[in-house]
Amino acid sequence: MVMEIISDITALRARLKSEQSIGFVPTMGNLHEGHLSLVTIAQQHARCTVVSLFVNRLQFSPHEDFDRYPRTLQNDFSLLEKAGIDMIFLPDEKIIYPVPQTFQLLLPTLADTLEGTFRPGFFRGVTTIVLKLFNIVQPHIAVFGKKDYQQLHLVRDMVEQLNLPITILAGETIRSENGLAFSSRNGYLTPAEHTEASHLYQSLNQIKHAIAAGERNLKLLEETAKQQLNQRNWRVDYLSVMQRNTLLPATPQDTELVILAAAWLGTTRLIDNLEVTLTSLPD
Residues near ligand PAF (CB under 6 A) are 26-28, 56, 59, 126, 129-130, 148, 151
Q: What share of the chain is helix, strand, coil (3-state, %, to 5)?
A: 40, 20, 35
**Residue nearer to ligand PAF on the CB measure, 35 or 140:** 35
**Residue nearer to ligand PAF on the CB measure, 28 or 90:** 28
Contact predicate 257/282, CB 8 Å: no
| Given 35, 140, 153, 199, the catalytic residue | 35
Rounded least distance, CB 56 to ligand PAF, Å = 4
CA 240 to CA 261: how far, in whole Å? 6
**Residue nearer to ligand PAF on the CB measure, 38 or 241:** 38
- The beta-carbon contacts of 198-204 under 8 Å, at least 24 apart in sequence, are 199/229, 199/232, 199/234, 200/229, 200/234, 200/261, 200/263, 200/265, 200/270, 200/272, 201/175, 201/272, 201/274, 203/228, 203/229, 203/239, 203/261, 204/259, 204/261, 204/272, 204/273, 204/274
Rounded least distance, CB 133 to ligand PAF, Å = 8
Rounded least distance, CB 69 to ligand PAF, Å = 10
**Residue nearer to ligand PAF on the CB measure, 183 or 240:** 183
Is 35 assigned a catalytic role? yes
Contact predicate 88/53, CB 8 Å: yes
Rounded least distance, CB 130 to ligand PAF, Å = 6
Catalytic residues: 35
